[in-house]
Structure 1
Amino acid sequence: MTTKNFNAILNKVKQLIPPLSPEFHKGQAGRICVIGGSEEYTGAPYFSAMSALKIGADLSSVVCVPGAAVPIKVADLFPRMHVIVVGPGLSRDNLMQECARGIITKAKEKDLSIVLDADALFLVQNHPDVIQNYKKAVLTPNVNEFKRLCEALNVGFDESQKGETAQRLSQALGGVTIVQKGKVDVISDGEQILHCEASGGLKRCGGQGDLLSGIISTFLSWGKAYQAGLWEHDQSITASEIPILASFAGCSIVRESSRVAFEKFGRATQTSDILKELGSVFRKDFER
């Protein structure tokens, strides 16, 4: 990607960010619900929810109670939410997977944007129909999850053509946005292909994907506010562009925050250190 293209994308992303105004009330700048967590994995939903707040979302809720009634209870929250994140720490337990499937179905009925990560991708791998053709969905697979999704959707995996492979996977899923995490993050909505090549830290601590899911969800919620005309703008960004722009923003912020944290802590860098850098990185690179 050329510098010119990068700057053009960055300028579009900045247009999605709501101004800080005394006229707004609590919740208008983003209400996020993270669904995940299990007895084995408690930190993942925390990092996802906190990253959304660190970037600028107003409210971030976590739902991680197992049980068959969860989809019904969570659906009661949906009228108050802009975006849901499904998967951080979810586990592959059959009950949790079925709960996630019910929650995603309910979210689609409410026309909510959805970010799917971690074990929610295992659900998509086994039941692609749960998200097929839902263009308000963003999937954030790592390299192994990406390969398994390609196999499940009969998409040929070619290491030398990552962008085209991500594009074909998106197309096979009906135009959902794919964020293929890796040395270079590859993003495609089935039409466009973006590469996020920003340098990150060399300590590959677990949990950075959780941060990414929360940040993407915040930008998706701002995209909804943009569409609703919460502030005055030129309406130049279409609804179909918002998922890929939100994804690019998330990848850029996580990579830069990881780099800054690594410069301070080196091998000792933890996800909590990266979390602390999100706000300052956002202000430096994205604040209008």
Structure 2
Amino acid sequence: MSLKNKSAKDLLNLTKKLVPPLLPQFHKGQGMCLDRFYYTGAPYFAAHAAAVFGADLSHIICEKNAATVIKSYTPDLMVHPYLYEKDNVPDHVQNIDEFLESKVLPKVKSLLSRIHVAIVGPGLGRDELMLKTLEIVIGYLKEKQIPIIFDADGLYLLSQKPGLVHGYQLATLTPNVVEFKRLADAVGLDLDGRNPHQEASDLSNLLGGVTILRKGAVDIIAQYDQVIESNTKGSDRRSGGQGDTLTGTLATLTAWGESYKSFLWDHDGDVEEEDISLLAAFGASTATRVAAREAFRQKGRAMQATDLHANVGRAYQIVFEEENELFE
């Protein structure tokens, strides 16, 4: 099915088909489990946005000193202090590689084996040991065919080593303008600045078919030569943390898309498997823009990330449950 010439309203109607019904036979965790790596504010916003958007379980795997802070934000998330930066490795450790293989990765992989989608990057930092750990984890996620959402420092790692994601079509990258330029430079893509749709498509092709959600005044979503855009009215005020909220909602929709593929519930099969990542990105972008719009309506220039975040649940209702005129 080609999405290229469909209206925004048609795209939303297809995206709605990915949302699983609330059936009594579903057990907790079938809707989705998440996992992510990083520090405090960014992982909180991403993980909690996923939860209030509809994820059953959200886990945060983080550096040990970040765990207490993140836990203080909410009791709703499961926080696992499994990761280390180079400077925080215990003094008695003589061989860091051996410590990583024997003490860190077994716990991380045990948790990863139970999730449906992973977000990597928000708040991660660029510590040498953290990035090395992430490389190994990305390989494990690919081996297990778990979808990955890349943002922030996860995108920085890919700009240094694009081969880590090349050809992995269960990956979605969410670059802003600076991050997009870094990725383009990494794969030798010359940006002409005249046709952002073509640039997004070219980047997807050069990375072997990953989905690109290029954030901007209009969000451009591409996989190979399929390109759609999300331009629902958002907020006139841009606040930090909006990208983290986007990755959280995107992870939930991506997980629901995986459940749709496996016919976890009875449906008509109208959505083609190759369109699911594009539709998930479109739905997440639309919902995040609506959340920002609602927050700005309430707070104006005083709007902060917490205000946007508080409207994620309401945005889900507006976009996926109510008859509205978003695209009229």
Please classify the TM superposition score into its range, dividing by the shorter chain length. over 0.9
Q: Check conservation: 2:34, 2:119, Cα contact below 8 A.
A: yes
Alignment-derived partner of residue 190 in structure 1: 224
Give 3-state SS (helix, strand or coil) of 1:33's partner: strand
- Distance in 1 (alpha carbons) for counterparts of 2:272 and 2:117: 18
SS of the residue aligned with 2:59?
strand
C-alpha distance after superposition, 1:157-206 (max 9, x if no partner): 12221010000000000000001101111110112111111111122111
Residue 242 (structure 2) aligned to one of 198, 208, 227: 208
Query: What is the CA-CA distance between 1:102 and the residue it aligns to?
Result: 1.1
SS at match of 1:80: coil
Consecutive unaligned residues of structure 1, counting only runs of 5 or more, are none
Runs of 4+ in 1 over 2 A off after TM superposition: 1-4, 65-73
Match of 1:254 in 2: 288
> CA 1:209 to 1:7, structure 2 compared with 1: closer, same or farther past 3 Å?
same
Q: TM-score, normalised by structure 2?
A: 0.84
Residue 71 of structure 1, CA deviation: 3.7
- State the 1:229 CA deviation: 1.2
Q: Spell out the pairing of 1:52-201 with structure 2 (5 A cutoff).
A: 52-65=50-63, 66-67=83-84, 68=100, 69-201=103-235
Residues 43-52 or 230-239, more deviating:
230-239
- Cα deviation, residue 2, structure 1: 10
Q: Tell me what 2:49 maps to.
A: 51
DSSP-derived class of the 2:217 partner: coil
CA distance in 2: counterparts of 1:284 and 1:185, whole angstroms = 19
1:271 aligns with 2:269: no
Query: Partner residue of 1:229?
Result: 263
* Cα distance change, pair 73–196 in 1 and its aligned pair in 2 (3 A): same
- Deviation, 1:31, is 0.9
TM-score normalised according to structure 1 size: 0.95
Give distance in 1, aligned partners of 2:272 and 2:41. Answer: 35
Answer yes or no: is 1:33 the counterpart of 2:55. Answer: no
Q: What's 2:66 paired with?
A: none
The code of the aligned residue for 2:35 comes to C
- CA-to-partner distance for each residue in 1:233-260, whole Å, 9 max, x for gaps? 0122222211111111111011111011
Residue identity opposite 1:30 in structure 2? M
Partner of 1:11: 13
2: CA distance, partners of 1:71 / 1:139? 24
Equivalent AA in structure 2 for residue 13 of structure 1:
T
**Identity score, percent:** 41
**Corresponding letter in the other structure for 1:129:** G
Aligned-residue RMSD, C-alpha: 1.6
Question: How far apart are residue 287 of structure 1 and its match?
Answer: 2.6
**Does the residue aligned with 1:179 lie in a helix, a strand or coil?**
strand
Structure 2 Cα separation of the partners of residues 85 and 74 of structure 1: 14
Structure 2 gap ranges (5+):
64-82, 85-99, 323-328
Q: Specify the code of the residue in structure 1 equivalent to 2:27.
A: H
- Contact persistence 1:71–1:100 (CA under 8 A): no
The structure whose Rg is larger is 2
Q: Measure the CA separation in 1 of the matches of 2:4 and 2:260.
A: 27
